[in-house]
Amino acid sequence: MAKGATHVLGLDIGNSTIKLVELALGRSGVQLVTEPVVVVTPPGSVAGGVITDGTAVSEVIHSLVTEYRCKTKKTVASVGGDTSVVARVISMPRMTGKELEEAMQWELDRQTPFPVDQVIYDFAPLPTPEGAPEGENMEVFLAVGQEDMINAHVQALQTAKLVPLHIDVEPLALARALIGLPDDKYREQTAIIIDCGATFTGIYIFRQGWPAFLRTVPTAGEAMTEAIREETGASPEMAEQAKRQFANVAAMGGEGGSSVAPESGVFDSAYEEGSESAGTGPVLPDLETLPATDVEVETEPEPAPGAAASAAAEAAATAGAPGGPAPADLPPEIVSAREIVAEAISQRVYDLVTEIGRSMDFYRRQHRDERLTEIMLVGGSAHLPGLPELIAAETGLPTRIANPFDHISADGITTPEYLRDVGPTMAVAVGLALRDMVE
């Protein structure tokens, strides 16, 4: 099973959060060594997947490794973002390995927006699907990153006194965590992974465990927060809090939003900072002043002992709130708040679902003999209540929130509840740590 290091840190450095997990391969399989951790990325230190303040990022990483008493320094990190990395599957005439290597030098100019003398790239021919005849063309996976960005990641790890083993791309890490580890189920299937992040959503289709279609769209968690801010005139912080506390896809009244009128008056405290205070819709209140109720409204997952900072950081950055009680059990003020937030985000949610459907339609036109089997949701925004059900209804495919820890032993490290809550956010980090442990 293993082809290299068997005790590794997986480090996912994102615009909003930094995720760290430590895994080891033992006789009984992959094991969790220390508690997975998610913390807020230092403001302004990462933009578009590029580390702009290496010192701040290194300090956070070093403090995490020290505080959580990580037992190895060997690290696999990822590069991401929709402006600094290109990861795609391309079609080329069938050729030998040497011919392909020469051809890729010319193909880079067509496939990437970066100057070819300023990038680091890798590629691999993809196997022909089992049962399919070999045609005149072949599929090749290509990953390209700006050299300065990759060097900044390596430097940040080294400054944090870690030993970088590999710099990987996010789609491959996700496939490793969700398909490669429980591989017996997916050997003959074509599955979709939707990575709902803060700044973009990745739509990735994997055929028999190999990448077949990779696309990113800008509709993601921050776009929903911004929609709430624009609709209500709230501050960015209050809009984020409202999203976490009240966002629920089930409250949307159909495509285009609910029927809640802006003048409903449920929200009564506008954002007043210069000209940005001019909201056209209802405005958010001090959320703590909403009336008390016997029904508990959960706004953050309950953290495991010692993990409060991790859970709070992720909730503050991208995660949606658990579904909570049904609207019929809630005070009218909270029901109205849910409807107003649903109205604000509804267009963004439908945009996302539309893009997923378009991606599926494009893939089906190119691969008419294949059957898409299921959709797995990961990323902080995957927790948006009702999102899996909406995607399933619109696409006709079974859709679930995936947990990469389902196939990892965690005896005595933390609680199953905590792993369930942070699992979707940790999927990339888990896949990075698994890089040399699974085929």
| Residue among 71, 76, 26, 28 nearest 435 (CA) | 76
Region 344-360: mean pLDDT is 95
- Which residues fall within 8 angstroms of residue 354, CB to CB, at 6 or more apart? none
What pTM did the predictor assign?
Answer: 0.84
d(CA 247, CA 224): 9
Region 83-101: mean pLDDT is 91
The pLDDT > 90 percentage for the chain reads 60
- pLDDT 10s digits, 72-88: 999 999 998 767 899 99
Paired residues of 203 in beta bridges: 194, 215
The pLDDT > 70 percentage for the chain reads 80
Confidence at residue 216, expressed as pLDDT on a 0 to 100 scale:
93
- pLDDT 10s digits, 287-306: 555 444 333 333 333 344 44
d(CA 223, CA 18): 20
Region 208-215: mean pLDDT is 93
Region 183-195: mean pLDDT is 84
- Which residues fall within 8 angstroms of residue 33, CB to CB, at 6 or more apart? 7, 22, 23, 24, 70, 71, 72, 413
d(CA 260, CA 48): 35
Paired residues of 43 in beta bridges: none
Region 359-376: mean pLDDT is 94
Confidence at residue 288, expressed as pLDDT on a 0 to 100 scale:
53
**Residue bearing the bigger pLDDT, 172 or 255:** 172
Confidence at residue 14, expressed as pLDDT on a 0 to 100 scale:
92
- pLDDT 10s digits, 125-171: 998 877 667 778 999 999 999 999 999 999 999 999 999 999 999 99
Paired residues of 166 in beta bridges: 76
- pLDDT 10s digits, 395-433: 999 999 999 999 999 988 999 999 999 999 999 999 999
Confidence at residue 128, expressed as pLDDT on a 0 to 100 scale:
83
Task: Kindly give the pairing relationship between strand 74-79 and strand 163-169.
Answer: parallel
On the question of pLDDT at 274 being above 90, the answer is no
Confidence at residue 297, expressed as pLDDT on a 0 to 100 scale:
32
Identity of the highest mean pLDDT range in 60-74, 116-130, 249-263:
60-74
Average pLDDT, the chain: 83
Region 107-136: mean pLDDT is 86
Confidence at residue 286, expressed as pLDDT on a 0 to 100 scale:
52
What pLDDT band is residue 316 in, cutting at 50, 70 and 90? very low
What pLDDT band is residue 331 in, cutting at 50, 70 and 90? confident
